[in-house]
């Protein structure tokens, strides 16, 4: 190979490889939405279906089957106490809409704002657990020492795998900041 | 064979510091890389000794837990990104042009640049230990949210990773361009020495994996300072996603660290077995298969995060598959030795030790691939033992084999065989004394990354620490061997060994400053 | 004390020789020396233990064969003994053999592994549920149906850690409030964390699982016998990662009920 043609060919190799490097850097970022889609399909990490996705048409109620739903909550980084629903374990029929209420109490003398992040376990139940009303991912403001009732309405999809008998809905409550829902 | 390449009139070696600062000569840059790598090896080793000193006995004696975590983190980063990766780039610089009959690397100025990025990057990392809040302390995997809690040291680490990543990517591009465009006439792809083959595969891995790491740490940086919430659950992010992205880089990284060593020992074993490498073609394909599989096994590093069953099964099966091409490589090396006529100079000893002890690491790796059992092994000392058998015995011992093998070619003098053997035996024995007991510690339930431990782990930790100190100080012998060989010693012939294979042995020892200005003819 | 330690050291030395030790030594002795996994007390831990032993036997045999061939070559085919190098450089037959045989071995290993995994992931039909929350640096336990919850933190005094006082028997593996579980009941454990990722691990009760902030994970335990079982956090979680142990008391049903009553009265 002559010197100039070798230089040209070097330049071509460098060009292609640099493009590839940029592409892989972009791919790293592309993994973020890809991961969310993947999570939603597989229910990985208990990301549950969001409000927008829930179809308007009512689901058929399957009275032959009962599923136990448990409610949990964790508060971190904010001076609130959040009470979980009175009934910790609730038996529901798939397809039946149920409302339970959490209650948040501000323990501080100033205004405060928090937000709740939901998680559902087991993972394979997550996408069959549909919340039609939820305080998740929205800013909740409390006046000093205020208490507030936060309802959640949910439906368990009858398509829930047969072997799942218990589902846990857990909220993690954090101080509010600009929030981007994970699967918007 | 006689010395075939006539040295040309322009074979003048520049003098002084500017030679090293501005050099575009592949041999000079290779030398810089190798010295840099060795320096980092000693610094990272010193940190390992801090760790072993603290673990000598239960209780806190030497450092506080926060500093201990920094040592664990920085030791790993320095060894991986400062010692092993640049070390292999050093070998690539020195040997690839000579092995394929090229006068230099394809992009010599870029080559200079990719080296000189390194000292700045690692200085930043070491500097981070002295800033308020200390260095990174979340492990080399820098998992958020823990790494988000850290101080300025974490930012410095992120910049370090960016610069080091850039350096490796530039190096990889250069190596690919060299191998694609600079081969001597007749040097077809399937005639290339295996070291060149493993490096071209490594270079492609680097180009595919390093940018993903750069992306992940950039997200970490913006999470820390610019209000994004990629990994912050409070903002709708997911800390586990970082682990997925990290290990998408991290597993290919493991093969980036090991494949060039496979290349080196594939050069060394045939020479000392006096028999051609067994199964050249399957060696090339096995290396390529390992590289491909490395992109679909990442989540075996994170079985415990709570994956769906299907995910756990997929990653278990794909991980087990890697054992097949890896096994092919090991069996091929053994078949190369079979019915050979072996002699056991230091490079051969290191090559055999690499094969033998890497096998141990590979087999424990197979145990960890089994998801249910890994729920017990995960994040224990069993893992620590495993990856030191793989990375130290695979990569570092492979590099030692390469150093002793080519040192006469680099310096023109034979190294001191007695010192070399001392270095070998002390290293091998001390390594096993250090790390073999750690398998048992892991079984017994000692978690990794803890500065202090319950009393039932005390005995093995004493043994391990003693081994660690012997292992650490033994490496100074290598320094002495190299310096002695540079200063003088028995003159090496062009061939050095008994009829070795490869173009690098057709040039004089030491290799002239410029080689193959006119391309050799390869038949 | 010193003699004891020397004795242990000696045993450690013999252990170094080879994994063969694990073949020859009875399990009870292994546990005492800390050479093998801790004695399992749940079905999951037992399945893990058996699987671990099976794969360890397999890899040990493979390792011995590889080493034997390698050392045979090293002693037999040396130049100093006048060995003449053969010329061959490939053999399709041999290469097929050492691709196919490992594949078969892998399949043999994959079958019981898959079965074990299916068992472990089956958290259905549990008798009770405990929510475990990791935080820097300790654990919080919440018996969800019982309205009982408490924190659990290390009790080893600082003086033992710094060495001004002799270390106790359960150095670093002792906490103020133990997690108490009834024997023979399937307990579903829900895991989450307040701040950073932790991992809850009691070796004798089975594998570990990560406790991740903002997310909930689950695993299950059914202890076959009563006793006290100790474990540690297994995911680096900051400065005091080494100082957040777990202690579980498995008791019989009546003791468990009595304990629950006591806890309720406290609150």
Torsions phi, psi of B246, nearest 5?
Answer: -60, -45
Options B28, B155, B223, B253, the catalytic residue: B253
Contact C124/A46, CB-based, under 8 Å? Answer: no
For CA atoms C91, B322, B326, B377, give the dihedral sign. negative
Question: In the Cβ-directed half-sphere of A34, how many Cα atoms lie within 13 Å?
Answer: 9
A67/C contact by beta carbon, under 8 A: no
pLDDT tens string B78-127:
999 999 999 999 999 999 999 999 999 999 999 999 999 999 999 999 99
Neighbours of B126 (CB within 10 A): 17
CB-based contacts of B454, cutoff 8 Å, min separation 6 = B58, B446, C170, C171, C172, C173
Ranked by mean pLDDT, which of A4-13, A138-147, B166-175, B306-315 comes out on top?
Answer: B166-175
Residues of chain B with pLDDT > 70: what percent?
Answer: 98
CA distance C61 to chain A (A): 38
C-beta atoms of C236 and B370 within 8 A? no
CA dist B409 and B497 (Å) reads 10
Per-residue pLDDT of A59-115, as tens digits, reads 778 888 888 898 989 888 888 998 888 887 888 998 888 889 899 998 988 888 888
Task: Specify the pTM.
Answer: 0.92
Alpha carbon distance, N-terminus to C-terminus of chain B: 15
d(CA B312, CA A44): 11
Which of C126, C128, C132, C215 to substitute to test the interface with A, most A CBs within 10 Å?
Answer: C215
Distance separating alpha carbons of residues B363 and C59, to the nearest angstrom? 6
Range C82-115 burial, b when 16+ CB lie within 10 A, else e: ebebeeeebeeebbeebbeebeebbeebbebbbe
Give the whole-angstrom CA distance, residue A48 versus residue A60. Answer: 20
Q: How far is CA B73 from CA B126, B128, B249, B376, B399, in A?
A: 11, 12, 18, 23, 23
pLDDT of res. B262:
97
Domain ranges in chain A are: 1-42, 46-175
Please report the domains of chain B, with CATH numbers, ordered by start residue: 19-506 (1.20.210.10)
CA distance B131 to B157: 12
d(CA B297, CA B322): 9
- What number of other Cβ atoms are within 10 A of residue C134's Cβ? 27
Of chain B, the percentage scoring pLDDT greater than 90 comes to 89
As a whole number of angstroms, the distance between CA B466 and CA B432 comes to: 11
Per-residue pLDDT reduced to its tens digit, B466-514? 999 999 999 999 999 999 999 989 999 999 999 899 999 999 999 999 9
Q: What percent of chain A has pLDDT over 70?
A: 84
Across the interface, of B234, B364, B444, the residue whose CB is closest to C214 is B234
Q: What pLDDT does A184 receive?
A: 34
**How many Cα atoms sit within 13 Å of B49 on the Cβ side?**
14
Q: Is C39 exposed, middle or buried (0-12, 13-18, 19+ CB in 10 A)?
A: middle
Q: What SS3 class is residue C53?
A: helix
Examine the residue annotation and report whether B266 is marked as an active-site residue of this protein: yes
Mean pLDDT of chain A: 81
C-alpha–C-alpha distance, residues A125 and A158, integer Å: 11
How many CB pairs lie under 8 A apart between chains B and C?
Answer: 302
HEC letters along chain A: CCHHHHHHHHHHHHHHHHHHHHHHHHHHHHHHHHHHHHHHHHCHHHCCECHHHCCCCCCCCCCCCCEEEEEEEEECCCCEEEECCCCCEEEECCCCCEEEEEEEEECCCCCEEEEEEEEEECHHHHHHEEEEECCECCCEEECCCCEEEEEEEEEECCCCCCCCCEEEEEEEEEECCCCCCCCC
Closest-CA residue to B208 (of B280, B298, B137, B140): B298
Mean pLDDT along residues A9-22: 92
Question: In this structure, what DSSP letter does residue C78 have?
Answer: B
Interface of B with C in 274-303 (CB under 8 A): 274-282
Q: Is the domain defined by C128-266 classed in CATH 2.60.40.420?
A: yes
Searching chain B, which residue's CA lies closest to the CA of residue A181? B236
Residue B423 a catalytic site member: no
Residue C25 confidence (pLDDT): 54
With beta carbons less than 8 A apart as the criterion, state whether B385 and B451 touch.
no
Structure tokens at C63: 């390792």
Query: In this structure, are residues A94 and A158 in contact, taking their beta carbons and an 8 Å threshold?
Result: yes
| pLDDT tens digits, one per residue of B447-467 | 999 999 999 999 999 999 999
Residue A183 has pLDDT above 50, yes or no: no
Asked if B324's CB is within 8 angstroms of C85's CB, the reply is no
Q: CA–CA distance from B105 to each of A18, B89, B183, B522, C84 (Å)? A: 18, 12, 10, 19, 39
DSSP state of C242: G
Closest partner CB to B436 (pick from C16, C106, C171): C16
Interface of C with A (CB under 8 A): 122-126, 129, 131, 133, 135, 142, 144-145, 188, 190, 192, 194-195, 213-218
What residues does C59 pair with on adjacent strands? none
Q: Which two tokens stand for residue B266?
A: 């594939």
Q: Is B301 a catalytic residue?
A: yes
Chains with 3+ CB–CB pairs under 8 A to C are A, B
Provide CATH code, domain A46-175: 2.60.370.10
Write phi, then psi, for A38 (nearest 5 degrees).
-60, -45
Q: Tell me the pLDDT band of B434, cut-offs 50, 70 and 90.
A: very high
Closest chain B CA to residue C211 = B305
Give every residue of chain C whose pLDDT is below 70, as ranges: 1-33, 267
Cβ neighbourhood burial of B84 (10 Å; 0-12, 13-18, 19+) = buried
B419 to each of A117, B475, B498, B509, C190, how far by Cα in Å? 63, 11, 21, 21, 58
CA-CA distance, B123 to B135, in Å (whole number)?
12
Angle at A26 between CA B176 and CA B121, to 5 degrees: 65
Radius of gyration from C-alpha coordinates of chain A: 23
Residue B336 gets which letter from DSSP? Answer: H
Q: Do A120 and C122 make contact, defined as CB atoms within 8 angstroms?
A: no
> Measured between CB atoms, does A122 come within 8 Å of chain C?
yes
Assign B308 a pLDDT band (cuts: 50, 70, 90): confident
pLDDT-based confidence at residue A142 (cuts at 50, 70, 90): confident
| DSSP helix/strand/coil, C61 | helix
- Please give the average per-residue pLDDT across B354-380, as a whole number: 95
Q: Is the pLDDT of residue A180 over 80?
A: no
Q: Where in chain C is the domain with CATH 2.60.40.420?
A: 128-266
Q: Which residue has the tokens 């679909």?
A: B296
Pick the residue of B108, B214, B236, B311 with the most A CBs within 10 A to test the interface with A by mutation: B236
Region of A125 please: left (phi>0), alpha (psi -120 to 50) or beta: alpha
In this predicted structure, the answer to whether residue B5 has a pLDDT above a threshold of 70 is no
Strand, coil or helix: B231: coil
Q: What residues pair up with B342 in beta bridges, in sequence order? A: C78
Q: The tokens 């927008």 sit on which residue?
A: A52
Query: Among B169, B236, B308, whose Cβ lies nearest the Cβ of A44?
Result: B308
């Amino acid at each position: 190979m002559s010197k100039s043609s070798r230089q040209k060919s070097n330049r071509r190799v460098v060009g292609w490889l640099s493009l590839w490097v940029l592409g892989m850097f972009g791919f790293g970022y592309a993994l973020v939405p890809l991961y969310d889609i993947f999570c939603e399909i597989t229910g990985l990490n208990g990301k549950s279906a969001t409000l927008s996705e829930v179809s308007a048409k009512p689901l058929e109620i399957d009275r032959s089957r009962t599923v136990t739903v448990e409610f949990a909550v964790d508060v971190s980084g904010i001076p609130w106490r959040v009470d979980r629903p009175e009934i910790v374990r609730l038996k529901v029929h798939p397809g039946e809409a149920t409302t339970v209420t959490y209650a948040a109490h501000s323990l501080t003398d100033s205004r405060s704002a928090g937000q709740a992040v939901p998680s559902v376990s087991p993972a394979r139940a997550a996408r069959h657990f549909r919340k039609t009303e939820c305080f998740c991912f929205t800013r909740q403001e409390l006046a000093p020492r205020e208490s507030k009732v936060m309802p959640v309405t949910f439906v368990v999809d009858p398509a829930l795998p047969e072997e799942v008998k218990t589902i846990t809905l857990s909220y993690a409550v954090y101080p509010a900041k600009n929030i981007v829902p994970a699967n918007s | 064979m006689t010395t075939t390449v006539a040295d040309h009139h322009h074979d003048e070696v520049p003098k002084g510091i500017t030679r090293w600062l501005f050099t575009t000569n592949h041999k000079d840059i290779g030398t810089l890389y190798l010295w840099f790598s060795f320096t980092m090896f000693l610094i990272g080793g010193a940190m390992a000794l801090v760790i072993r000193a603290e673990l000598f006995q239960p209780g806190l004696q030497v450092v506080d837990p926060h500093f201990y975590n920094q040592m664990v983190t920085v030791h790993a980063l320095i060894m991986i990104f400062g010692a092993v990766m640049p070390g292999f780039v050093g070998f690539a610089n020195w040997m690839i042009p000579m092995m394929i009959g090229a006068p230099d690397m394809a992009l010599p100025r870029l080559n200079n640049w990719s080296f000189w990025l390194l000292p700045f990057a690692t200085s930043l990392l070491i500097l981070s230990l002295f800033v308020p809040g200390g260095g990174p302390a979340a492990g080399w995997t820098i998992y958020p949210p823990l790494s988000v809690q850290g101080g300025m040291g974490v930012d410095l680490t992120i910049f370090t990773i960016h610069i080091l990543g850039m350096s490796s990517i530039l190096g990889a591009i250069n190596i690919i361009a060299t191998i694609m465009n600079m081969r001597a006439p007749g040097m077809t792809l399937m005639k290339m020495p295996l070291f060149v083959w493993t490096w071209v595969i490594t270079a492609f891995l680097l180009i595919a994996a390093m940018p993903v790491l750069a992306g992940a740490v950039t997200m970490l940086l913006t999470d820390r300072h610019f209000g994004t919430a990629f990994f912050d659950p409070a903002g709708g992010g997911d800390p586990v996603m970082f682990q997925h992205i990290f290990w998408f880089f991290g597993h290919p990284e493991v093969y980036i660290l090991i494949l060039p060593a496979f290349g080196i020992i594939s050069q060394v074993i045939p020479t000392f077995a006096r028999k051609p490498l067994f199964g050249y073609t399957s060696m090339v394909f096995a290396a390529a298969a390992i590289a491909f599989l490395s992109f679909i096994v990442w989540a075996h590093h994170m079985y415990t995060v709570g994956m769906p069953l299907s995910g756990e099964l997929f990653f278990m099966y794909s991980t087990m598959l890697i054992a097949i091409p890896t096994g092919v490589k090991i069996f091929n090396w053994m078949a190369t030795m079979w019915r050979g006529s072996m002699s056991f100079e230091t490079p051969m000893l290191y090559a055999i030790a690499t094969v033998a002890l890497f096998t141990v690491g590979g087999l424990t790796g197979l145990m960890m691939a089994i998801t249910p059992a890994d729920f017990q092994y995960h994040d224990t000392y069993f893992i620590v033992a495993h990856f030191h058998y793989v990375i130290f015995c695979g990569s570092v011992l492979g590099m030692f084999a390469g150093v002793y093998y080519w040192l006469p070619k680099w310096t023109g003098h034979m190294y001191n065989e007695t010192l070399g053997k001392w270095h070998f035996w002390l290293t091998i024995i001390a390594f096993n004394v250090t790390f073999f007991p750690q398998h048992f510690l892991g079984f017994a339930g000692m978690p990794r990354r803890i500065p202090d431990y319950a009393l039932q782990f005390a005995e093995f930790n004493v043994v391990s620490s003693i081994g660690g100190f012997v292992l650490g100080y033994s490496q100074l012998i290598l320094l002495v061997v190299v310096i002695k060989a540079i200063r003088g010693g028995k003159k090496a012939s062009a061939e050095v060994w008994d009829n070795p294979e490869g173009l690098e042995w057709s040039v004089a020892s030491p290799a002239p400053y410029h080689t193959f200005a006119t391309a050799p003819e390869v038949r | 004390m010193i003699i004891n330690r020397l004795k242990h050291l000696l045993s450690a030395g013999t252990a170094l020789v080879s994994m063969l030790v694990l073949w020859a030594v009875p399990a009870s002795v292994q546990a005492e020396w800390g050479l093998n996994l801790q004695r399992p007390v749940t079905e999951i831990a037992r399945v893990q233990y058996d699987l671990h032993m099976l794969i360890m036997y397999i890899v040990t045999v493979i390792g011995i064969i590889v080493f034997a061939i390698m050392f045979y070559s090293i002693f037999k085919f040396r130049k100093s003994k006048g060995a003449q190098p053969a010329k061959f450089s490939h053999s399709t037959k041999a290469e097929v053999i050492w691709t196919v045989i490992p594949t078969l071995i892998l399949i043999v290993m994959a079958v019981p592994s898959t079965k074990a995994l299916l068992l472990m992931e089956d958290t259905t039909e549990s008798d009770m549920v405990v929510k475990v929350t990791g935080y820097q640096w300790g654990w919080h336990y919440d018996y969800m149906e019982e309205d009982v919850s408490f924190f659990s933190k290390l009790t080893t005094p600082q003086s033992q850690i710094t060495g001004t006082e002799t270390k106790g028997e359960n150095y670093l593996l002792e906490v103020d409030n133990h997690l108490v579980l009834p024997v023979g009941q399937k307990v579903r454990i829900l895991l989450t964390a307040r701040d950073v990722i932790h991992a809850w691990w009691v070796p004798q009760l089975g594998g570990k699982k990560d406790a991740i902030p903002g997310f909930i994970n689950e695993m299950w335990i059914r202890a076959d016998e009563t006793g006290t079982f100790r474990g540690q956090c297994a995911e680096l979680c900051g400065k005091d990662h080494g100082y957040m142990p777990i202690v579980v008391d498995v008791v019989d049903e009546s003791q468990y009920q009595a304990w629950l009553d006591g806890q309720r009265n406290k609150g």
